[in-house]
């Protein structure tokens, strides 16, 4: 039996979801509060649920602030955001704060049920549009990496060695070449990148400018 709790200020939505979930035979939903503050009050007297559905726009503390506090006191609670907001900042702030899923409010009741089960099985429920934004977060910086970098594969190897904090000697050992060869490559790398120190190469590399 999965215990579910709800934090949602709209009374109609809250009781609708609560009644639907509670009538499922593998779920129970006892706690349905209208604010994070009320939920914290409730949790002082009761056992924490397995899963918590959380709105963002709430009276008092916001749902995003709530995530941090709930997760700190009850780290085992899995939190799913259930909200109308689909802007990147709210999504990423929620995930960084510790949310395990993010659903948009037009999600149907059976889909919410499915998401809760999904979470219990080690998944991470997300509305498709949300998943798209999360993935775009990886795509965009990826394009910058391609633009530049005239570095040859071998030169990139050497750069990786530098980033790993290796000395010329250790880089030479890693690739089984002489230290003078390492020097030669580094000369060329410096020329291509218009720099003249290890430090600048490492910084450029880790900032994705190579």
Q: Could you list the residues that contact DNA (CB under 7 A)?
A: 150, 152-155, 167-169, 175, 177-178, 180-181, 183-188, 190, 196-199
Buried b (16+ CB within 10 A) or exposed e, 44-81: eeeebbbbbbbbbebeebbbbebbeebbeeeeebbbbb
Q: Are 68 and 80 in contact (CB under 8 A)?
A: no
Spatial separation of the C-alpha atoms in residues 40 and 60, rounded to whole Å: 13
155 binds, among its own copies, DNA, none (CB under 5 to 8 A by kind): DNA
At closest approach, how far in Å is the CB of 34 from its own copies?
26
Show contacts with its own copies in window 3-22 (CB under 8 A): none
Reading phi first (left if > 0) and then psi (alpha if -120 to 50, else beta), residue 184 is in: alpha
At closest approach, how far in Å is the CB of 117 from its own copies?
10
Of 62, 107, 156, 203, the one binding its own copies (CB under 8 A) is 203
- Which residues make up the interface to its own copies (CB under 8 A)? 68, 72, 92, 95-101, 118, 121-129, 131-132, 134-135, 138-139, 141-143, 145-146, 162-167, 195, 197-200, 202-203, 206-207
């Amino acid at each position: 039996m999965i215990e579910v709790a709800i934090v949602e200020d709209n009374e109609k939505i809250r009781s609708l979801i609560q009644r639907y979930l509670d009538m499922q035979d593998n779920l129970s939903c006892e706690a349905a509060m209208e604010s994070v503050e009320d939920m914290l009050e409730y949790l002082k007297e009761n056992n924490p649920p397995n899963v918590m559905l959380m709105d963002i726009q709430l009276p008092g503390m916001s749902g995003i602030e709530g995530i941090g506090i709930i997760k700190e006191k009850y780290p085992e609670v899995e939190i799913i955001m259930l909200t109308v907001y689909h802007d990147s900042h709210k999504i990423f702030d929620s995930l960084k704060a510790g949310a395990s899923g993010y659903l948009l409010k037009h999600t149907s009741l059976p889909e919410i049920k499915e998401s809760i089960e999904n979470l219990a099985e080690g998944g991470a429920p997300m509305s498709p549009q949300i998943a798209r934004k999360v993935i775009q977060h990886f795509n965009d910086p990826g394009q910058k990496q391609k633009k530049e970098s005239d570095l040859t594969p071998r030169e990139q190897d050497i750069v990786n060695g530098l980033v790993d904090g290796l000395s010329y000697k250790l880089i030479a050992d890693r690739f089984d070449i002489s230290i003078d060869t390492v020097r030669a490559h580094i000369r060329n790398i410096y020329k291509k990148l218009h720099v003249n120190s290890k430090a600048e190469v490492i910084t450029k590399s880790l900032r994705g400018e190579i």
